[in-house]
Amino acid sequence: MSRELLAALSRLSDPGSRSSFIEEATWQYIRHQQKAIRDQHELQLINEHEDELNREALDTLNYQAGE
User: What whole-number distance in Å separates Cα of residue 32 and Cα of residue 38?
Assistant: 10
d(CA 29, CA 16): 22
Question: Which region, left, alpha or beta, applies to residue 60 given φ > 0 means left and ψ of -120 to 50 means alpha?
Answer: alpha
Return the half-sphere exposure (C-beta side, CA atoms, 13 A cut-off) of residue 21. Answer: 13
- What does the alpha-carbon distance between residue 6 and residue 21 come to, in Å, rounded to a whole number? 12
Over residues 32-52, the pLDDT tens digits come to 999 999 999 999 999 999 999
Residue type, 7: A
4-20 confidence digits (pLDDT tens): 999 999 899 888 898 99
